[in-house]
């Protein structure tokens, strides 16, 4: 479905006017995912998917039994507990290496992805309009990507978002009404495990070809060793003694939970880092956590957050490579799994010491001096006004600078700093980066 097939306009009362291209029954919110209609029986093959996936691939994906929702649970692990055998679903790898899978994802995009009409709407005071667009527009695309959509609107939002919508069967949440004019979507571990096969690729295509200013805010990558042959909490403790979690700088913080001195079958956890940091690792006895005191099932989960780290969208397609690149010991693990041909990928740390991006700096000037500038502009020519208000010194403010990573990359590839990434503070339009300017940037960081 191309964007042009979904025209969006506001009527005289400010409500969104939409022209759907297929039966609205296909997007009806269901109380249970088992009741979800199969989109393959409703969507016309002639209509192009909204994120340019291609008609042939899109239709075959929906008509194949493996990609329907609820999915065929080939990712089901049976665990023996005191109450009997319990089925436990888990995420599975989407890349050819098969080492790690996506077990949680939070992504966001600008609200004008819903249509140009929403670029100027104040999200904090437009609950009805935004809610209507999310119910009628975003709900459909969630079905197409994950196989499940909206359930009920919550009474309040969270994480500084005023409004929120719960996804079916508590598989995630949609947040909107933020002063940044962004919409955030969280898909939890169960949602990642139950979503249609191939959802990672479909989400990647949506974010890269359709969404405005997309961003990964959080992504968890997990590796499961069901037999405990290559991964255990005791082995993780030994890896720490050998520097397996040291990535430069200070030694990481280590926390242990559970009965390590006298294991009692209730499960133990080995955690690396700080829970509030941009990278946090949990290695725990998953089978015992589910109630099987004799289960050898062990899981390692790396939680990445975009606090001071650039999370590339490629992490959706290559979770194994980024999992292996998280810590040196995971490269050792890859060798044990006879996957030593996998090249590790590392996420880049971004320096954010009191940095202000381009948009925020404009907002500050507008808030503090906007009224004066507006009155001055009535009697003074624009060029003269700019010259009058500009500093006599041609210096770049220390709080308005490139990140160290962006400068290095710009010099290396001889390309301007990209202007579409939230993570990179912008000073767009500078003609080249000379040595003196570069030194100033470095000193300012």
Contacts of 367 (CB under 8 A, 6+ apart): none
126: Cβ–Cβ under 8 A, 6 or more apart, which residues?
A: 177
Q: Is the pLDDT of residue 394 over 80?
A: no
Q: Is the pLDDT of residue 143 over 70?
A: yes
* Residue 43, strand partner residues: none
Q: Which two tokens stand for residue 245?
A: 């979690």
pLDDT of residue 350: 58
Distance CA 425, CA 396 (A): 13
The reply to whether the predicted model has a pTM over 0.75 is no
Q: What is the SS3 assignment for 101?
A: strand
Residue 348 confidence (pLDDT) above 90: no
DSSP-derived 3-state class of residue 236: helix
Report how far residue 285's alpha carbon sits from residue 325's, in angstroms, rounded to the nearest whole number. 22
Token pair recorded at residue 386: 């700019």
Two tokens at 279? 């990278």
Compare 422 and 225 and report the one with higher pLDDT: 225
- Element containing residue 36 per DSSP (H, E): none
Q: Average pLDDT, stretch 157-172?
A: 91
Query: Does the pLDDT at position 434 exceed 50?
Result: no
DSSP 155-191: SS--TT-SEEEEEGGGSEEEEE--TT-EEEEEE-HHH
- Over range 364-392, report the average pLDDT: 86
Per-chain mean pLDDT for the chain: 75
Domain boundaries, the chain: 67-349, 358-444
Dump pLDDT digits (tens) for 165-197. 999 989 999 999 888 889 999 999 999 998 988
Cis peptide before 237 (omega within 30 of 0): no
| Mean pLDDT, range 95-118, rounded to an integer | 90
d(CA 74, CA 89): 9
For residue 406, give both structure tokens: 């962006």
Range name among 15-19, 353-357, 374-378, 429-433 with the lowest pLDDT average: 429-433
Percentage, residues of the chain above pLDDT 70: 68
Q: Give the integer Cα–Cα distance in Å for 218 and 90.
A: 19
203, two tokens: 């989400």
CA–CA separation, 210 and 213 (whole Å): 9
Distance CA 170, CA 190 (A): 9
DSSP 295-358: ---EEEEEEEESSSEE--GGGGT-HHHHHHTT-HHHHHHHHHTT-TTPPP--PEE---SS---H
Among the residue ranges 137-141, 267-271, 401-405, the one predicted with the least confidence is 401-405
What's the average model confidence in pLDDT over 363-391? 86
Banded model confidence at residue 68, pLDDT cuts 50, 70, 90: low
The SS3 call for residue 48 is coil
Cis peptide bond prior to 70, omega within 30° of 0: yes
**Distance in angstroms (rounded) separating the CA atoms of residues 341 and 338:** 8
Give the Cα separation of 1 and 44 in Å (integer).
10
Q: Cα–Cα–Cα angle for 440, 349, 105, nearest 5°?
A: 140
The pLDDT score that the predictor gives to residue 273 is 93
pLDDT at 431: 38
Mean pLDDT for 48-77 is 49
Tokens of 272: 């690396």
Assign 242 to helix, strand or coil: coil
């Amino acid at each position: 479905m191309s964007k042009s097939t979904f025209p969006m306009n506001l009527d005289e009362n400010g409500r969104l006017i939409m022209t759907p291209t297929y039966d609205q029954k296909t997007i009806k919110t269901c109380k249970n995912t088992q009741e979800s209609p199969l989109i393959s029986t409703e969507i016309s093959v002639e209509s192009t998917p909204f994120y340019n996936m291609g008609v042939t691939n899109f239709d075959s994906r929906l008509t194949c039994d493996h990609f329907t929702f609820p999915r065929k649970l080939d990712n089901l692990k049976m665990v023996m507990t005191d109450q009997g055998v319990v089925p436990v679903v888990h995420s599975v790898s989407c890349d050819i290496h098969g080492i790690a899978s996506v077990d949680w994802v939070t992504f966001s995009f600008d609200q004008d992805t819903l249509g140009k009409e929403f670029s100027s709407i104040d999200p904090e005071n437009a609950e009805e309009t935004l809610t209507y667009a999310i119910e009628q527009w975003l709900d459909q695309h969630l079905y197409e990507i994950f196989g499940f959509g909206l359930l009920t609107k919550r009474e309040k939002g969270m994480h500084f978002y005023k409004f929120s919508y719960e996804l079916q069967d508590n598989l995630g949440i949609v947040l909107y009404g933020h002063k940044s004019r962004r919409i955030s979507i969280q898909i939890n571990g169960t949602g990642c495990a139950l979503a249609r096969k191939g959802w990672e690729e479909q989400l990647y295509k949506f974010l890269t070809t359709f969404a405005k200013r997309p961003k990964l805010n959080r992504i968890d990558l997990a590796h499961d060793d069901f037999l405990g042959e290559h991964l255990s909490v005791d082995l993780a403790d030994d890896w720490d003694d050998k520097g397996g979690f040291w990535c430069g700088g200070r030694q990481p913080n280590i926390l242990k939970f559970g009965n390590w001195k006298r294991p009692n079958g209730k499960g133990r956890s080995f955690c690396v880092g700080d829970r509030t940091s941009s990278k946090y690792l949990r290695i725990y006895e998953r089978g015992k956590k589910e109630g099987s005191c004799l289960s050898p099932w062990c899981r390692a989960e790396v939680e990445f957050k975009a606090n001071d780290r650039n999370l590339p969208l490629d992490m959706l397609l290559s979770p194994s490579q980024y999992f292996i690149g998280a810590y040196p010991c995971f490269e050792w693990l890859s060798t044990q799994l006879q996957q030593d041909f996998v090249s590790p990928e590392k996420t880049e740390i971004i320096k954010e010491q009191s940095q202000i991006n381009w948009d925020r700096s404009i907002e500050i000037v507008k808030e503090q001096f906007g009224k004066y500038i507006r009155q001055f502009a009535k009697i003074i020519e624009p060029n003269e006004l700019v010259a009058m208000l500009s500093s006599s010194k041609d210096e770049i403010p220390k709080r308005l600078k490139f990140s160290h990573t962006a400068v290095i990359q710009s010099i290396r590839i001889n390309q301007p700093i990209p202007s579409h990434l939230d993570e990179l503070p912008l000073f767009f339009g500078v003609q080249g980066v000379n040595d003196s300017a570069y030194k100033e940037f470095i000193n300012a960081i």
